[in-house]
Structure 1
Amino acid sequence: MDLVVAKFGGTSVGNGERIRKAAQSVVNEYMKGNQVLVVVSAVNKTTDELIDLSDKAVGKGLTDKQKAEIMAMGELTSIRLFAATIESLGVKSEFIDPYNELWPIVTDSNPLEAKIDFSTTTKKAKGIKDLLNQGIIPVVCGFLGKGPSGEITTLGRGGSDVTAFLLGHCLNAKEVVIVTDVDGVMSTDPNKIEEAELLDKISVEEMRDLATHGAQVLHPHALKYKDPLINAKIINFKNGDLSSKGTKIVGPFEGDMMKIASLHDSPISVIAIVGEDMLNKPGILADLTACLAEDNINIFGISAGQNSITIFVNKNEADKAYHLLHNLVIECDILSSLSLGKDIAMITLVSPEFIDTPGIISNITEPLRKNNINIVEISSSQTAVVVFVEWKDGEKAHELVKEVLK
């Protein structure tokens, strides 16, 4: 039988009617012949209310351990309600919380931002599999973990999403369904632009970047556990149907979740364009990039300053790009001059762990500083850092920064 992991967010279990509707969708999926594992968040706003209540009652005297135990009450309540509702619909269910011997998610001892012990969790998840094989629907607390001494820990904001993808990975689920209060991932926030459209699918990388920069649909940390062989989607609880279309999350594709440090195999040339107060002149960046795009010249990086813009292109296209951009400088009153600089080496570092690693930029740059290697430019996203150094230092710099990923 196929296993479906269904995660219900706080809004989707926001009242008794919604809990029953959610439970019915789980039972319907079970009746199709599938195994179903349910992950449930606290009822909408419960966690915030518990935090507010404890802050007002105890204030600064509240320890992190006490706070984790108090915050956990939301999930401890919601799984009991959900499991009882499933049983009222005629299917056997069992709630699993950190006090249960079958509890799978083991962490370190950090009460509020616990790190998962993946190998131990994978072993413990076998107990959940045994339950599923008995025809029982397990209902598991999202957001929570169990520390080394059996204490309750929490996985941080978005922890229920982490729980769903983690258990889906450990149990080789066919699909992870994130049930929330939107139809899926939109082309933008529909509250800001009415013409926003529902996406049929989105890649793990795209979803991670959207989530990191403010999209509330899914927590980016959860995507570390997205297995490329497991289907995933985001649907609206209003449909009351786990087979609803929603938005598929595809990937990760080969290399997306790997730690990679690569040195571009040929030199990069840097072209610097200067002009007065360029950042406050609309359209300048568009003019520069369009000028090169028309001749099919690829840009590896752009850096903008108050009075300059630096563009990185392949060395074998540098002279052509240089002349094209010079023509633009002559035509544009805002631009003053440009220069073609030294040969540059481009080193790209990729790791899904960058998003959770404070100080990652300094970790990368420190060994270069110690070895007197000058950084021409550096840019970063949530999972990648690109470093430009002089070509003569490229191979040595590559070897040094590779150590950061180990």
Structure 2
Amino acid sequence: MRVVAKFGGTSLGSGDRINRAADSIAAAVEAGHEIAVVVSAMGSTTDSLLDGIQFDVAESDKAEIVSMGERTSARMVKAALSARGVDAAFVEPGGEHWPVITDSHGEVDVEETTRRAQALADRMGEVVPVLTGFLAEDHAGSVTTLGRGGSDTTAVMLGNYMDAEEVVIVTDVEGVMTGDPRVVEGARNVGEISVDELRNLSFRGAEVIAPSALNYKEPELGVRVVHYQHGDLLQGGTSIEGTFETLIDLQETPLSCLTVAGRAIRNRPGILAALSGALGDVGINIDAAASGLDSITFYLYTEDATEAETVLHERVIDEDALSSVTVDDDFAAIRVSGGELPTQSGVVQGMIETLADEHVTAHDVITSATSVAVFVDWDDRERALSIVQDTF
């Protein structure tokens, strides 16, 4: 089996951890697997290098300076593997076999990177390449970087382009957990998680794998996250399933918009739960909700609007924090989710501007880390759907 194993900074943060990493790589090689290794800078090396730059510096010089962390890690891991009798070679920008190439815009040159990655893969039966993560090289031979989480990106990208069966991300967490074990008791490992679920968590603070790396995951490429103490590259941890797809969905049923206003809403703990709970008690489903400083808006099926207004009005009467409830009918919801949506700058602005150019009013826009919902007049739904589809 061909595997790309990425070791994060914490998993290489001491001599003992480097030995542990080398042992796990050597064991996989001994079992007959082809292993390529991607390394981050040891511990907090990159931060220390950046802290040392107390002067104006060109981006090209800055890239060269911060590259020293990954370059050192690659040499340390290569040496540890050689000490175990494994034929290994460090691979870095400027070297003959370096694969990751960027174009004049700083974006990965997919064609050239694929060609070089496949050439490197052809050598994996003879040698274990130890590659510097995070780094790239432009066509002029200068060092560039892949941005935040770049080592994860390097690993999954190469796993894709080298036709690997699996990418293993070795880090300081036991895969994906049900909660932060430093905060909650009883947190346990999640055996499988989808790319969409994980990206939602990553964009909201979970430090498991860089969201940008998951853009390179194809359906046939396995990606797994394991703890550095696990010691076995080929099992355990959390398996990341699926791949990103851009999905565009038009709500099939007309919606009504119910807005509850009140100047003291933001200072009333539990008010959202009280209002949504009251709707739930009578079996009314909420399609979407949004809140502001002095209002809460619910979108729900128009057929439920009259009953919902009655239920919410009772709450308005009972709650000093609330002043009024109003209803507006006949909206459609168009939702866009997944794909490269979270990494596309200005995508929401572009979609709204395009709708405006075609004289379609967007009455509301609700976003999450990985999706956008646009609410338009029911009669404009088909035209709006066509515009959104053209946008993506």
Matched, 1:357 2:357: no
Q: Distance in 1 between matches of 2:285 and 2:127?
A: 56
- Which of 98, 119, 125 aligns to 1:127? It is 119
- Which of 204, 214, 217 aligns to 2:205? It is 214
- Which of 219, 224, 230 aligns to 2:221? It is 230
> CA RMSD for the aligned pairs?
2.0
Matches within 5 A, 1:324-363: 324-363=311-350
- Which of 350, 375, 379 aligns to 1:388? It is 375
Q: Which structure 1 residue ranges, 4+ long, deviate > 6 Å from structure 2?
A: none
Q: 1:48 to 1:334 in 2, by over 3 A?
A: closer
Q: Distance in 2 between matches of 1:316 and 1:3?
A: 56
Q: Distance in 2 between matches of 1:387 and 1:260?
A: 14
Matches within 5 A, 1:88-99: 88-99=83-94
Matches within 5 A, 1:259-270: 259-270=246-257
Q: Distance in 1 between matches of 2:383 and 2:112?
A: 38
**What residue is the counterpart of 1:140 in the other structure?**
131
- Which of 77, 80, 86 aligns to 1:85? It is 80
Work out whether residues 247 and 339 of structure 2, in 8 Å CA contact, stay in contact via their aligned partners in 1.
Answer: no
- Which of 266, 287, 299 aligns to 2:286? It is 299
SS of the equivalent of 1:239 reads: coil
Q: Deviations over 1:196-252 (max 9, x none)?
A: 333233221121122122222221111111223222221111222213522222223
Percent identity at matched positions? 40
Amino acid at match of 1:123: R
Work out whether residues 196 and 338 of structure 2, in 8 Å CA contact, stay in contact via their aligned partners in 1.
Answer: no
Work out whether residues 106 and 117 of structure 1, in 8 Å CA contact, stay in contact via their aligned partners in 2.
Answer: yes
What's the offset of the Cα at 1:9? 0.5
What's the offset of the Cα at 1:330? 4.4
Amino acid at match of 1:85: A
Q: Distance in 1 between matches of 2:228 and 2:47?
A: 21
Work out whether residues 26 and 36 of structure 1, in 8 Å CA contact, stay in contact via their aligned partners in 2.
Answer: yes
Q: Distance in 2 between matches of 1:44 and 1:366?
A: 45
**What residue is the counterpart of 2:64 in the other structure?**
69
Q: Distance in 2 between matches of 1:317 and 1:380?
A: 24
**What residue is the counterpart of 1:176 in the other structure?**
167
- Which of 265, 277, 294 aligns to 1:278? It is 265
Structure 1: segments with no counterpart, 5+ residues: none
What's the offset of the Cα at 1:311? 0.6
Matched, 1:375 2:353: no
Matches within 5 A, 1:40-51: 40-51=39-50
TM-score under structure 1 length normalisation:
0.90
What's the offset of the Cα at 1:16? 2.3
Q: Distance in 1 between matches of 2:155 and 2:364?
A: 39
Work out whether residues 106 and 146 of structure 1, in 8 Å CA contact, stay in contact via their aligned partners in 2.
Answer: yes
TM-score under structure 2 length normalisation:
0.93
Matched, 1:16 2:15: yes
SS of the equivalent of 1:150 reads: coil
Work out whether residues 174 and 189 of structure 2, in 8 Å CA contact, stay in contact via their aligned partners in 1.
Answer: yes
What's the offset of the Cα at 1:363? 1.1
Alignment length, in residue pairs? 392
**What residue is the counterpart of 2:96 in the other structure?**
101
Matched, 1:115 2:110: no
Q: Deviations over 1:359-385 (max 9, x none)?
A: 222111112233333221101122211
**What residue is the counterpart of 2:232 in the other structure?**
241
Matches within 5 A, 1:304-319: 304-319=291-306
Amino acid at match of 1:238: Q
Matches within 5 A, 1:181-192: 181-192=172-183
What's the offset of the Cα at 1:351? 4.2
What's the offset of the Cα at 1:389? 1.3
